Structure 1
Amino acid sequence: MTNRNVVLLATCAAIVAIASGYLKADDWIMWGGDGDRNMVNTVEKGIPTSWDIETGRNVKWQAQLGSQSYGNPVIAHGKVLIGTNNQAERQPKSTGDKGVIMCFREKDGKFLWQVTHDKLPAGRVNDWPRQGICSSPAVDGDRFYYVSNRCELVCADLEGFLDGENDGPFTDEKLTDEIDGDIVWKLDMMDELGVFPHNLATSSATFDEQLVYLCTGNGVDEGHIVLPDPFAPSFIAVDKQTGEVVWENADPGEDVLHGQWSSPALGTIGGVRQAVFPGGDGRLYAFAPSDGELLWSFQCNPEESVWKLGGHGTRNNIIATPVIHEDRIYISVGQDPEHGEGPGHLYAVDATKRGDITKTGAIWHNDEVQRSLSTAAVHDGVFYFCDLTGIFRAMDAATGKTLWTHDMLAAVWSSPYVVDGKVFMGDEDGHVVVFRAGREEKVLFEADMGNSVYTTPVAANGVLYISSRTRLYAIQEDATSDPDEVN
């Protein structure tokens, strides 16, 4: 590991202030709501159990996205941000395949502006066509952070150019109309750190009072054998104000199996702040957030597992985001969904331990699941999880015992979301199933969203947001809208 300009947190008071985490109230400001990444909202009430996009019942508004949308919506300060591609071509000066963050007005879905990024010249090996921006923004006051399709960590202004100001130090935007986004600074991880993203950089950042944390996406080349730069960092912490790298870590180095498409978690475990990063070798790494000191690591693959190209082996990397809950880390393993189904593993890990805790850290382990992309949700002693094959599970969070299962009858990339006594789960066939949260299965409703749901439903300010591949829906109790009216 190398360190760059290592800084200490300013005061003990600051440490105490951030130790409590972010209150999951009102706005939903990042992937997972806050740094613990637990897909649970304990604040919102009155979230609809049912809706109908064909009639507009309980649909407040809908907005057109690109042709592929994998970024999750976040809601903050009266705005909704989401990553997609440029197929909607809302900026006439910028047409063709691009990566885009769109911004809509929360109250009525009016399109406000978009940040637009050109594709990388190398093509699919670094920036897969038409995938857009898959990173979910993290909003911090009047700034937000995301990873572009060009493998850049970007800090942007929440007002875009609507305020008539070009915030810097970065002031070289090609597009500066009112409908364009305003970049404050950006860190090009390919040029400045030597990172080689395989297919796409997708990490969703988290932050504390001083630093932004993310996975860089360093991976193998197009031949799927050689890692162009095994010494390029996989995990970094960056100064929020300047974009300067404060610390970096190059693990797993040459042990990266394929790509690295996951995101870190940040929280207090056993009274100690930890930044938990999922590695492309199937290992979890936990660091001291302030200086990058390695606290512990845990290999999620059995020792006898074997990596084979194309998903034919039994060894996996990690696509899901680790979840921090009550001194435990919940994590599953998976692969590029193009590799298809295969054996998976699901763990609850004791994150209070130190060192290599592979042999001592597992509180429970489930090896009956298949590979998964889904991030988990833990609430009221129940652990909710879905694997790629669409088998949704409710499990006892303490023991890992399966309480009930439900077959979604479709592949699942989405994650379960718990809010208002319900669990929402989307699938590739475009259905969202609503379960009653609890230790017994009860299906309350199933909606057809008209297109694949690869993202996760989220709620903020009394409204449920669901994005299909091409549309963003705001769903609210007693709302009505014209189903033909699309923002």
Structure 2
Amino acid sequence: MMTNKINFSALIFLFMVFVSCQSEQQNWTHFRGSNMDGHANVETAPLHWSDTENVVWEVPVNGLGWSSPVVYGNQVWVTSAEKEGTAFYALCFDLETGKLLNEQTVFTAEDPQRIHGTNSYATPTPCIENGRVYVHYGSFGTACINTKNFEVIWQRNDMPCDHMQGPASSPILYKDMLIVHLEGTEDPYVVALDKKTGETIWKSVRPKEIYDPLEPVYRKSYQTPIVVNVDGQDLLISNSAFMCFAHDVNTGEVVWTFEYGYDSTVSQPLFYNGLVFVNSGWIFLDGRPSFTRQFAIDPTGEGDVTESHQVWMYEDEVPQIPTPVIVDGLMYMVHDRGMVTCLDAMTGEEVWKERLKGNFNASPIYAGGNIYFINVKGYCTIVKPGDSFNKVAENDINETVKAVPVFVGDKMLLRTQKHLFLFK
């Protein structure tokens, strides 16, 4: 009798583990995945597709937006906006069927700021958790929506930012906080909001003594931060224009800084094996943006760690927009113009280089044992990670793609300029 009870308990435990694993594979909660490391928690992923092949469903998406989808349970959420920036949308689709479950206008603007021609008014990717999705359109507004009844729980449109080239930084969730970056040409800052109410918990403005002497154009940043644990302390890693900041994520207090350059950081930081990896944004030569650098930093310092805690620096065809991905100790990064570089993540030593077709905005994603590189024209090269270039497959969707592919279960969601696809 006791044996039967033990067996029954073991079965219940295994079932709960199975359900938990299945749930994790069904969710994609932030930009570049639930862990924001570019890794999909799936065992298999699609290898072959086109606009007609292996399509589970295809649906149009109203407006224009370069934000990536997020998934929780059976819901897929994307943001979009009118091309002219007069209205900002949130859309929810059924994961299994593609049915539009809800579409609503969250904010409007009578006289929106101008943006760069390659950007959109809905580039920040939302973040999602059980019962709530958080949408962010930069200075145009931030809101929390109930995913069960689609009602707006709270919204903020009182956080100013002169983006100059439009919003792009995605929000992130940390415990009870929603953290957003509003780093424009004047008084750039990061703010932590109470995710339940939208009220400000803390706000950290970049130091005036450093940023005010810079020309306004060199103060702006479009990166999405990460939170890492260093010696028991959770740090918000924020690679802003001119320098990287590590904040105590609970208070906003700056713990350390690392100086590297000037303008328009976009690529998200990474954390691997005790090191933080940050992108410099543009490095200037003769007064013009010329190239970017990738840095590896020991995050255990305090104060200005520029000289003391740099582990390595690499500057040959480092991307400005796409974020690298690290797999088994190797960093893979694709330059905006198509050169893929594989580095040893701990030393910065080059392992191999290979040029891919086209230009790139989307960050590579590791899924089902392979790395997916999708260029702006929708052409995807799938590569097996390792110490040499090993192409697995190529696919073409024939539409503009700037969002990262999203992997749930054994399928892939892809947001294009006009549509949302689910591939098998």
What is the TM-score with the length of structure 2 in the denominator?
0.85
Of 407, 414, 417, 2:365 maps to: 417
**Corresponding residue for residue 33 of structure 1:** 33
Q: Distance in 2 between matches of 1:358 and 1:245?
A: 31
Residue pairs, 1:41-190, within 5 angstroms:
41=40, 43-54=41-52, 56=53, 58-66=54-62, 68-86=64-82, 98-125=87-114, 131-148=120-137, 150-159=139-148, 163=149, 181-190=150-159
**Which residue, out of 280, 297, 316, partners 2:263?**
316
Write out per-residue CA displacement over residues 308-341 of structure 1, whole angstroms, 9 at most, x where no aligned residue.
xxxxxxx4331111112222211223359xx998
Pick from 266, 278, 294: which aligns with 2:227? Answer: 266
Most deviating of 196-205 and 410-419: 196-205
**CA distances 1:412-443 after superposition (whole Å, capped 9, x unpaired):** 11101001110001112221111112222111
Contact (CA 8 Å) 1:79, 1:105: kept in 2 or not? Answer: yes
Aligned partner (choices 210, 221, 226) of residue 176 of structure 2: 210
- Alpha-carbon distance change, 216 to 359 in structure 1, aligned in 2, over 3 angstroms: same
Distance in 1, matches of 2:415 and 2:230, equals 33
Q: 1:284 to 1:297 in 2, by over 3 A?
A: same
By how many angstroms is 1:124 displaced?
Answer: 3.6
Deviations 1:54-94 (Å, cap 9, x if unpaired)? 3x3x221112124633101111121111122347xxxxxxx
| 1:332 partnered with 2:300 | no
Tell me if structure 1 keeps the 8 A contact 2:189–2:205: yes
CA contact (8 A) 1:464 1:474 kept: yes
The question of whether the paired residues in 1 share the 8 Å contact of 2:377 and 2:401 is answered with yes
Distance 1:96 1:352, change over 3 A: closer
Alignment-mate amino acid for residue 253 of structure 2: E
Segment drifting more, 115-124 vs 443-452: 115-124
Matched, 1:473 2:418: no
| Cα separation, 2, equivalents of 1:357 and 1:251 | 17
Q: Distance in 2 between matches of 1:396 and 1:130?
A: 32
Counterpart for residue 434 of structure 1? 382
The unaligned stretches of length 5 or more in structure 2 are 1-22
* Post-superposition offset of 1:344: 1.3
Displacement of 1:149 in angstroms is: 5.4
Question: 1: CA distance between counterparts of 2:116 and 2:330?
Answer: 38
User: Does the 8 A contact of 1:318 with 1:335 survive in 2?
Assistant: yes
Q: Shift in Å at residue 38 of structure 1? A: 1.0
Report if the CA contact (8 A) 2:86-2:110 is conserved: no
The corresponding residue for 2:10 is none
The residue that corresponds to 2:240 in the other structure is 279
| Residues 361 and 375, structure 2, Cα contact 8 Å, conserved in 1 | yes
Deviation string 1:118-167 (CA, Å, 9 cap, x unpaired) is 553333437989924111111121011121255322111113xxx3xxxx
**Residue 297 of structure 1: CA displacement?**
1.0
SS of the residue corresponding to residue 342 of structure 1 reads strand
CA distance in 2, matches of 1:101, 1:454: 18
Going by fraction, where is strand more abundant, 1 or 2? Answer: 2
Measured in 2, the distance between the counterparts of 1:390 and 1:252 equals 36
Determine the C-alpha separation between the residues in 2 that align with 1:150 and 1:353: 33
- Output the TM-score relative to the length of structure 1: 0.75
Distance 1:150 1:295, change over 3 A: closer
Task: Give the stretch that moved more between structures: 451-460 or 78-87.
Answer: 78-87
The DSSP-based 3-state class of the residue aligned with 1:123 is coil
For the Cα contact (< 8 Å) 1:147–1:202, is it kept in 2?
Answer: no
Q: Give the direction of change, closer, same or farther, for the CA distance of 1:468–1:406 in structure 2 (3 Å limit).
A: farther
Q: Could you say which structure has the greater relative contact order, defined with CA pairs below 8 angstroms and 6 or more residues apart?
A: 1
Q: Give me the whole-angstrom Cα distance separating, in 1, the residues matched to 2:288 and 2:364.
A: 20
1:410 to partner: Cα distance: 1.7
C-alpha deviation, 1:241, in angstroms: 1.2
Post-superposition shift, 1:107? 0.7
Residues 365-397 of structure 1, C-alpha deviation per residue, up to 9 Å, x if partnerless?
Answer: 101124510112112111111122211122111
Query: Residues 399-414 of structure 1 correspond to what in structure 2 (within 5 A)?
Result: 399-414=347-362
What is the percent sequence identity of the aligned residues? 18
Inter-CA distance 96–31: structure 2 relative to 1 (3 Å threshold): closer
Matches within 5 A, 1:436-455: 436-455=384-403
**In structure 1, distance between residues paired with 2:289 and 2:386:** 28
1:373 aligns with 2:331: no
Q: CA deviation at 1:236?
A: 0.9
**1:150-205 deviation line (CA, Å, top 9, x unaligned):** 5322111113xxx3xxxxxxxxxxxxxxxxx5211112243xxx433323233211
1:339-367 deviation line (CA, Å, top 9, x unaligned) = 99831111111112221111122211101
Amino acid at match of 1:46: T
Query: In structure 2, what is the Cα distance between the partners aligned to 1:334 and 1:96?
Result: 26
Q: What amino acid maps onto 1:38 in structure 2?
A: D
Deviation at 1:258, TM superposition (A): 4.6
1:296 aligns with 2:256: yes
CA–CA distance in structure 2, aligned partners of residues 96 and 235 of structure 1: 23
CA RMSD between the two structures: 2.6
Q: Distance in 2 between matches of 1:368 and 1:126?
A: 29
Q: Distance in 2 between matches of 1:252 and 1:467?
A: 37
Q: How does 1:1-16 map to 2 (within 5 A)?
A: none
- Larger displacement relative to structure 2 (250-259 or 107-116): 250-259
Indicate if the aligned counterparts of 1:318 and 1:332 stay in contact, CA closer than 8 A: yes
The answer to whether the 8 Å contact 1:34/1:206 transfers is no
